[in-house]
Amino acid sequence: MFNPPTAPNRAGNLRGIRAAAGSLALGALSLMSAHAAFGAETVSSVLKKMAENYTKAKSYQATITTVQVAKTPDGKPYTVTETEQVKYENPNRFRQTVKATGTGAALSGQLAQQIQMLQHEIVSDGKTATIYVPARKMYQKQPVPPNLVVAQIVQVLRLVPPLDRPGLTLLPSGATVNGRQAYVVEMKPTAPPNLKPDQAKQFAAAVKRFKQYPRLLIDKQNYNLLQYTLSTTDGSAQIDLSSQVFGGAIPGSTFAFNPPAGVKEYKAPPPAMHPNIGGFTPGGVPAPGVKPK
């Protein structure tokens, strides 16, 4: 069964946040929703209105910037900054371009190689998706389904929880993001039922590593997602969505892929799909709940 293409490894073997997030994932972490009154709004009403913006979009354009701050196992600090440009047109045409840079320990060695693999381009003309990874000097094609929504293309939107699970709080203080007043939905980890004692201990230890639980910052006026943040004892992650345009015209040429000189097509069977997100992942898979920072 086809799953839409997703970005290559957004963390690879990067340590830091991945360690905390991975531990929580192993503990079957639930980051989901409970009702909490905030004026006339609740967690469910805010998330529902936000989801409608993206699922009903006829077209969508945005710049998404992710910054991950962490340390190597031997304590050397680094940052990874990823810039993603997205253009989408209903029902299934899109172009996603990702570039990444690093500082500190990410300038050399394995981290530098992983950053190279983060950079990619995925282009769908409505029939075929072409996945191009410059570091490999190759591209691969696969068919696309007749319908795709923005959340299947934009990685951060995959972090938005369902409306019927515990663990969400609408913080009363709110926040400001680039001059925009925002609701703050905090996603507190909640342990699944019937954990064995050793699993419960592992889960509790992982939760203690959070300095700030994951948060979604949602525009109070138009209910667009503005920012995603989290912080652990291993590092921090922040994803900012800017220049978001819903319903704007996009030239048809945007969805055509023209292979650069010297780039070859890879026709072997695609790698195994990642069970959590699906899709072709040329460089690996993302860490749960984080992109590289």
What would the pLDDT profile of 59-102 be if each residue is shown by its tens digit? 999 999 999 999 999 999 999 999 999 999 999 999 999 999 99
Lowest mean pLDDT among 29-38, 92-101, 262-271: 29-38
H helix and E strand count, the chain = 4, 12
Residue 282 has pLDDT above 80, yes or no: no
Indicate the pLDDT class of residue 28, thresholds 50, 70 and 90.
very low
Give kind and range of the element (H or E) at residue 236: strand 235-246
**At a CB cut-off of 8 Å and minimum separation 6, what does 169 contact?**
34, 36, 43, 185, 186, 188
C-alpha 137/C-alpha 266 separation (Å) is 10
Model pLDDT, residue 125: 97
Model pLDDT, residue 34: 32
Q: Is residue 275 part of a domain?
A: no
Q: List the beta bridge partners of residue 170.
A: 185
Q: Residue 49: what are its φ and ψ, rounded to 5°? A: -65, -40
Q: What is the mean pLDDT of the chain?
A: 81
Model pLDDT, residue 192: 87
C-alpha 279/C-alpha 7 separation (Å) is 9
Residue 47 has pLDDT above 50, yes or no: yes
Q: Is residue 92 part of a domain?
A: yes
Q: Is residue 271 part of a domain?
A: no
Residue 170 has pLDDT above 80, yes or no: yes
CA 75 to chain centre: 26
Model pLDDT, residue 270: 55
Residue 158 has pLDDT above 80, yes or no: yes
Return the top range by mean pLDDT from 21-25, 156-160, 229-233: 229-233
Q: What does pTM read for this prediction? A: 0.79
Alpha helices in 57-210 (DSSP H): 109-118, 197-208
Q: Is residue 113 part of a domain?
A: yes
Neighbours of 138 (CB within 10 A): 16
Q: Is residue 149 part of a domain?
A: yes
C-alpha 2/C-alpha 127 separation (Å) is 13
Q: Hey, what amino acid is at 34?
A: A
Model pLDDT, residue 164: 77
What is the count of structural domains for the chain?
1
Q: Is residue 272 part of a domain?
A: no
Q: Is residue 279 part of a domain?
A: no
Indicate the pLDDT class of residue 269, thresholds 50, 70 and 90.
low
Q: Hey, what amino acid is at 282?
A: P
**At a CB cut-off of 8 Å and minimum separation 6, what does 252 contact?**
none
pLDDT digits (tens, 9 = 90+) for 105-155: 999 999 999 999 989 999 999 999 999 999 999 999 999 999 999 999 998
Residue span of the structural domain in which 74 resides: 17-245
Q: Is residue 270 part of a domain?
A: no
- CATH number of the domain that 82 lies in? 2.50.20.10
